[in-house]
Amino acid sequence: MTDNRISALLTDADKTAVLDAIQTIRTKLPFLIDLTPEERKGLPRLGDKSQAFVSQALELATQNTDILPRSFDVDEFRKDVELFNALRPVVLSLTQLFELLDDTYVEVGSEAYSGALAVYHYARAAGKGAALDNLLEGLAQRFARKSGRKDASSTPKT
């Protein structure tokens, strides 16, 4: 193992505390929904360039309710805008946290796999007769190649 960037442990108590904190977030945001990929694709997106447009439209709607059809609910529109603005810093914070968590997860997985490869190579170098045959055979299954052809003995003869 040549490059060990992370040396840490996550205790059961800390893992439980983190999972509890995630559950608290879910509890505090009971309105969260799960969109299908098709639903996501069909939605118009509110990006940075459109935020000013939405704010101006809310101001126009608030001051000129007489131009809107009765079916248009200005209060619901306002709630959507306010919730969007309130969620923005939460999404940013959680996105940054997720990126850190994901990068750490990928790095630790890579370090663990590199360590396993080193152990395998050292054990193979130690050779047969070191009472490692069964263990090496189990580890070697990771590198076993599957043949794309059917075994000739298993094909029926015509």
Residue 46 identity (one-letter amino acid): L
Task: Give the pLDDT of residue 8.
Answer: 96
How much is the average pLDDT of 83-99?
97
Evaluate if residue 18 carries a pLDDT over 60.
Answer: yes
How much is the average pLDDT of 93-116?
96
Q: Note if the pTM is more than 0.85.
A: no
Task: Give the pLDDT of residue 129.
Answer: 66
Phi, psi of 46 (to 5 degrees): -100, 105
Task: Give the tens place of pLDDT for each residue, 38-78.
Answer: 999 999 999 888 999 999 999 999 999 999 999 999 999 99
How much is the average pLDDT of 73-99?
97
Structural domain spans, the chain:
72-140
Task: Give the tens place of pLDDT for each residue, 115-155.
Answer: 999 998 888 888 766 677 778 888 888 887 776 655 555 55
Query: Can you read off the two tokens belonging to residue 122?
Result: 């050292």
CB 46 within 8 A of CB 54: yes
Q: Which one is predicted more confidently, 30 or 153?
A: 30
Is the Cα torsion angle 118, 122, 125, 127 positive or negative in sign? Answer: negative
How much is the average pLDDT of 87-106?
98
Task: Give the pLDDT of residue 149.
Answer: 58
CA dist 41 and 44 (Å) reads 8
Evaluate if residue 101 carries a pLDDT over 80.
Answer: yes
Number of helices (H) and strands (E) in the chain: give both, helices first. 5, 0
Task: Give the pLDDT of residue 110.
Answer: 95
